[in-house]
């Protein structure tokens, strides 16, 4: 009887140790991923950004750039959130090649983090920015799906620029936020422009998927 009790205690204790180790490893990994990266990792991130920039400034052929930069794109998607602050620093520098900034926007849009929200919204609202960079930022905000992006997207959706307006309406549909569907429906009912009315219809349709 005592032997059985001892065995049960050993199993319980072993299980408790394993669970504690698992929680510690998970917590440590999460902290490393989000907050703490080594100097060597930072150095490698900057090196990969440099390689990506070299490719971007070598040609204006975006298809060729995307093909050549596959290793760098894979690297940043693998590293994920820890690379966001450095990518954002480059993105916020208007002197950098626009193609590099464009690709960085795409990379940031795949990261489930709030870090890019402020710089992307800033770019979207900046009328001195290149149009394609503003449009890319607008579409990226739609993929991040945070509530904070709703006001700037709604504001841009009423913009006089057709390209920005279309991108914002599309992004609002991608959000699939129930709190805005009534407003979009009301806008569609009152809208006179056939083009905008159709784009609103497409956006609203996504809420039914």
Summarised one tens digit per residue, pLDDT across range 65-101 is 999 999 999 999 999 999 999 999 999 999 999 999 9
Closest CA to 207 of 181, 170, 169: 181
pLDDT of residue 7: 56
Closest CA to 137 of 151, 120, 122, 159: 120
pLDDT of residue 207: 84
Q: Label residue 67 exposed, middle or buried (CB < 10 Å: 0-12, 13-18, 19+).
A: exposed
pLDDT of residue 39: 92
156 vs 14, more confident: 156
CB atoms within 10 A of CB 11: 10
152-167 core/surface letters (b: 16 or more CB in 10 A; e: else):
bbbebbebeeeebbbb
pLDDT of residue 31: 38
**Radius of gyration (C-alpha) of the chain in whole angstroms:** 23
Handedness of CA 191, 136, 154, 183 (dihedral sign): positive
pLDDT of residue 10: 47
Q: Over range 20-45, report the average pLDDT.
A: 60
| Predicted confidence band of residue 112 (pLDDT cuts 50, 70, 90) | confident
Q: Label residue 135 exposed, middle or buried (CB < 10 Å: 0-12, 13-18, 19+).
A: buried
Answer yes or no: is pLDDT of 5 > 90.
no
3 vs 132, more confident: 132
Answer yes or no: is pLDDT of 23 > 50.
no
Angle between helix 39-57 and 70-79 (nearest 10): 150
pLDDT of residue 147: 93
Q: What is the pTM of this model?
A: 0.80
Closest CA to 123 of 143, 147, 98: 98
Q: Kind and range of the H or E element at 137?
A: helix 131-144
| Predicted confidence band of residue 107 (pLDDT cuts 50, 70, 90) | very high
């Amino acid at each position: 009887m005592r032997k059985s009790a001892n065995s049960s205690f050993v199993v319980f204790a072993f299980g408790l140790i394993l669970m504690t180790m698992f929680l510690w490893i998970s917590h440590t990994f999460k902290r490393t991923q989000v907050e703490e990266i080594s100097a060597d990792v930072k150095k490698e991130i900057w090196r990969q950004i440099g390689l990506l920039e070299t490719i971007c400034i070598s040609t204006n052929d975006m298809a060729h750039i995307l093909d050549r930069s596959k290793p760098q794109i894979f690297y940043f998607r693998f590293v994920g959130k820890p690379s966001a602050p450095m990518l954002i620093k480059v993105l916020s520098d208007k002197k950098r090649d626009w193609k590099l900034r464009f690709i960085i926007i795409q990379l940031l849009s795949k990261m489930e983090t709030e870090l890019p929200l402020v710089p992307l919204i800033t770019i979207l609202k900046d009328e001195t920015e290149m149009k394609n960079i503003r449009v890319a930022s607008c579409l990226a905000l739609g993929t991040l799906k945070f509530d904070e992006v709703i006001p700037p997207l709604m504001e841009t959706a009423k913009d006089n620029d057709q390209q920005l307006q279309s991108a914002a309406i599309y992004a609002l549909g991608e959000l699939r936020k129930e709190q805005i569907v009534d407003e979009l429906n009301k806008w569609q009912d009152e809208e006179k422009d056939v083009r905008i009315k159709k784009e609103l219809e497409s956006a609203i349709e996504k809420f039914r998927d």
